[in-house]
Amino acid sequence: MKKLLSVLLAAGMVLSVTACGASSESTALSDDATSETSTQSEAATSEAASGDFTTVTDGVLTMSTNAAFPPYEMTTDTGDFEGIDVEIAGAIADKLGLELQIDDMDFDAALLAVQQGKSDMVMAGVTVTDDRLLVMNFTDSYASGIQSVIVPEDSDIASIDDMQGKLIGTQRGTTGNIYCTDDFGEENVVAYDNGLTAVQALMNGQVDCVVIDNAPAQEFVAANPGLKILDTEYANEDYAIGVNKDNTALLDAINGALAELKADGTVDSIIAKYISADSTAE
Ligand code: ARG
């Protein structure tokens, strides 16, 4: 379990998501104005927009994600994208005078897209890790997560140690998958395309437990009777936006926008909209 601790320490700046009032102006989240795909020079609305960054497509902020990760990113019945990341990304795009475009793919592909310069940023509840910092830059953190363990209600797994020798379901390319293969051996870990397919495998008895971030875990358990989440936390993590290593101008611009959105309470209110205040409410 040593590795987990180092991940924790490496994660650095822990940003709590507690609401702290002071929303001077409510930002236009649902504002679908800015239709013109003009370049950032037009966007004099914010200091954050002043840098001379470039994007994959002029006037567009392309975000790669895996929209099977509620409440961070998911699709509505009508096929639109919604969730915490989707709304924060929309607010960042507004501040930068860009139009947000969301490219949905597998999680590992979403990480790769930004490294290969096919997307401007990967925003997918991405945990900051040392290994990922070698291949991409991360913005400041905007939320925190916990790797938790889902088991059937009648499971004999009651703690992390009980997972020894069991079959563990994970999402491919995620920290949950990496920790579990490190701690319990590759032969005991199955990688599924996404969290939902992992949970379906658990329901079908194909795996004994699923390791996944706590917020989606809550959603999956709420939607699937007969499952529960262990009290034990497997790992604590920080989520941030991944940006191509060569595009530090864009990294700075996103950080500037993010700082404003944190300061005016927008980030907190978006998170609160999707995750009920089970932690520090005011
Ligand atoms: N936080 C975990 C990681 O960074 C899982 C993220 C999965 N996100 C998703 N949209 N499927 O590895």
User: According to the model, what pLDDT value does residue 51 have?
Assistant: 61
**Structure tokens that stand for 155 in this block:** 């499971």
Domain that holds residue 248: 60-142+240-274
Based on the domain organization, do 67 and 184 belong to the same domain?
Answer: no
Based on the domain organization, do 257 and 221 belong to the same domain?
Answer: no
47 falls within a domain: no
Based on the domain organization, do 120 and 151 belong to the same domain?
Answer: no
Q: Is ligand 1 within 6 A of the CB of residue 238?
A: no
User: What is the Cα–Cα distance from 265 to 166, expressed in whole angstroms?
Assistant: 43
Per-residue pLDDT of the chain (282 residues; tens, 9 = 90+): 434 433 433 333 333 333 333 333 333 333 343 333 333 344 434 444 456 899 999 999 999 999 999 999 999 999 999 999 999 999 999 999 999 999 999 999 999 999 999 999 999 999 999 999 999 999 999 999 999 999 999 999 999 999 999 999 999 999 999 999 999 999 999 999 999 999 999 999 999 999 999 999 999 999 999 999 999 889 999 999 999 999 999 999 999 999 999 999 999 999 999 998 654 333
Domain total of the chain: 3
User: According to the model, what pLDDT value does residue 45 have?
Assistant: 43
50 falls within a domain: no
User: According to the model, what pLDDT value does residue 15 have?
Assistant: 35
264 falls within a domain: yes
Query: Against a cut of 0.95, is the pTM above it?
Result: no
CATH of the domain at 92: 3.40.190.10
Based on the domain organization, do 233 and 157 belong to the same domain?
Answer: yes
48 falls within a domain: no
Based on the domain organization, do 249 and 121 belong to the same domain?
Answer: yes
User: According to the model, what pLDDT value does residue 52 have?
Assistant: 86
Based on the domain organization, do 137 and 151 belong to the same domain?
Answer: no
User: According to the model, what pLDDT value does residue 6 have?
Assistant: 38
54 falls within a domain: no
User: According to the model, what pLDDT value does residue 203 have?
Assistant: 97
Based on the domain organization, do 184 and 151 belong to the same domain?
Answer: yes
CA of 180 to the centre of ligand 1 (A): 14
Select from 174, 193, 219 the residue to mutate for testing ligand 1; criterion: most ligand atoms less than 8 Å from CB: 174
Based on the domain organization, do 223 and 245 belong to the same domain?
Answer: no
User: What is the Cα–Cα distance from 204 to 189, expressed in whole angstroms?
Assistant: 16
User: What is the Cα–Cα distance from 192 to 56, expressed in whole angstroms?
Assistant: 30
Based on the domain organization, do 246 and 135 belong to the same domain?
Answer: yes
Based on the domain organization, do 123 and 162 belong to the same domain?
Answer: no
Which atom in ligand 1 lies closest to the alpha carbon of residue 124?
10
User: According to the model, what pLDDT value does residue 278 have?
Assistant: 53
Q: Is ligand 1 within 6 A of the CB of residue 61?
A: no
69 falls within a domain: yes
Based on the domain organization, do 88 and 210 belong to the same domain?
Answer: no
1 falls within a domain: no
33 falls within a domain: yes
Q: Is ligand 1 within 6 A of the CB of residue 171?
A: yes
Based on the domain organization, do 262 and 198 belong to the same domain?
Answer: no
